[in-house]
Amino acid sequence: MSSPSKRREMDLMKLMMSDYKVEMINDSMQEFYVHFSGPNESPYHGGVWRIRVELPDAYPYKSPSIGFVNKIYHPNVDEMSGSVCLDVINQTWSPMFDLVNVFEVFLPQLLLYPNPSDPLNGEAAALMMRDRGAYEQRVKEDIGAAPEEKTSDEELSGEDYDSSDDAVAGQPDP
């Protein structure tokens, strides 16, 4: 019989062995960042987001907490907090799911098939319903202009800051 802590370790190792960059927070297996690329065939293609993941003590019986650290323009993502409105994570989570499912299935589906009728970002939802082309253009503009944001001074340490990101970050704010 597997304990929640063994399952947490196993799922995290599986995620780390996949193609995702994983950064641990405070050497804890319960909090970490995952770099997530926008799926092909979506207006988010070409963007890379830093996703904060927190695993509760009862994981996998209780869902992980998922949030976008850097800005994303999407009807189902709160623009200020980065929290995600995704039914499979918030209400219908099952221990059959794992962290790889979150990044290979659930988040790509969220970006491929936004649900403007249940928005966390009302402006994005309204624009998407009113003018899909303008919505997709706004998404692409944000991807081209938004550098990957750091949330605190300690995260800006020399170890995890890659100066090559500056070349694709776009123009700095005046």
Catalytic (active site) residue 33: no
Catalytic residue (one of 69, 85, 89, 111): 85
* Alpha-carbon torsion, ordered 110, 167, 151, 90, to 10 deg: 10
> How many residues in the chain?
174
Cβ partners under 8 Å of residue 28, min gap 6: none
Contact indicator for 37, 76 with CB cutoff of 8 Å: no
What is the β-pairing status of strands 48-54 and 28-37? Answer: antiparallel
Handedness of CA 130, 133, 136, 141 (dihedral sign): negative
Can you tell me the distance from the alpha carbon of 66 to that of 53, in angstroms, rounded to the nearest whole number?
Answer: 5
Q: Which amino acids are annotated catalytic? A: 85
